[in-house]
Amino acid sequence: MLSSILLFSLMDASVKWLGATYPTAQIMFFRCSVALAPVLVIILLRGGSSILRTRQKKLHLLRSVMGIGAMGFAFYAFSLMPLAEAISILHTAPLFMTALSVILLRETVGIRRWSAIIIGFVGMLMVVRPGADMLASGSLYMLTAAFLIGCTTIIIRHLGKIDDPVCITFYFTVTGVLVSLIGMLIQGWQSPPLLDLALLILVGLCGGMAQYLMTLSYQRLAVGIVAPLKYLSIVFGGGIAFLVWNEVPDLQSVLGIGIIILSGLYTLHRELVRGVRTRA
């Protein structure tokens, strides 16, 4: 999990660096096309195309489109925002997921989790700072990405009961390649020098490897052990941002980030307690 978090942080920093020069669609294309290679290898090792059979094609399409939308909004926002603040806003996705589960899945959420969700959104507002410049600052784009991630997580929870995770990843990645190709027809292609080409490939390699390592950690350890470690991505991302761009969050952002982390951890704790009671 720690390796996964570090790789995701390197990917986010690379996206931020490249976003100052290259169209978002071009960065997304490398993220998805490079990551598609190991996915195809896994499919071959797991028995071939039979693992891709599904009766949930419309749901896969919805999950893929929303997931690619989240990626596009997040990648663009990374080029506009301080890295630590951007990553912290992304960590509000579980809060959106819990709130949406009440509406979409009719799950029961107690007063403690609702309180944590509300407090988490207060922290998010401290970081986002609603106002006329939300588009220029990138915060609205990142907030939209977090919302879409919350939606896709709910869909993945349903798909995961029916289809193999490799199947879900394959359709998402292929959709990403196709959508980013269309995006490049609109935004154009900018030929990268060798160093930038290496960074673009690194985005795909880091993203694909990080996703695999995270999945592996969830398979081998309890969620309650590994999930809290995800918040270290804010520390890793903030450290990279300080070294590369000399970014230092102000006091309000630090307080908001802290509130988001604490509310997320408490929401996870209540989810685990609820799961134990359900099994009992």
pLDDT in tens, 239-276: 888 898 988 888 888 898 888 888 877 777 766 666 54
Q: Classify 65 as helix, strand or coil.
A: helix
Q: Are 125 and 118 in contact (CB under 8 A)?
A: no
**Average pLDDT score over residue span 3-28:** 92
Residue 139 has pLDDT above 80, yes or no: yes
CB atoms < 10 A from the CB of 78, how many? 30
pLDDT at 278: 38
Which of 79, 66, 64 is CA-nearest to residue 26? 79
Number of domains in the chain: 1
* pLDDT interval class at 69 (50, 70, 90): very high
Residue type for 184, please? M
For residue 155 the two structure tokens come to: 């869909």
pLDDT at 196: 93
pLDDT at 51: 86
What is residue 192's DSSP assignment?
P
Of the chain, the percentage scoring pLDDT greater than 90 comes to 28
For residue 149 the two structure tokens come to: 């991630």
pLDDT at 276: 44
Q: Are 65 and 151 in contact (CB under 8 A)?
A: no
Residue 141 has pLDDT above 70, yes or no: yes
Which of 55, 144, 135, 19 is CA-nearest to residue 92? 144
- Kindly report the pTM of this predicted structure: 0.85
Question: Per residue in 154-171, pLDDT tens?
Answer: 888 778 778 888 888 889
Residue 115 has pLDDT above 80, yes or no: yes
Cα–Cα–Cα angle for 66, 258, 5, nearest 5°? 55
Structural domain of 209? 2-279
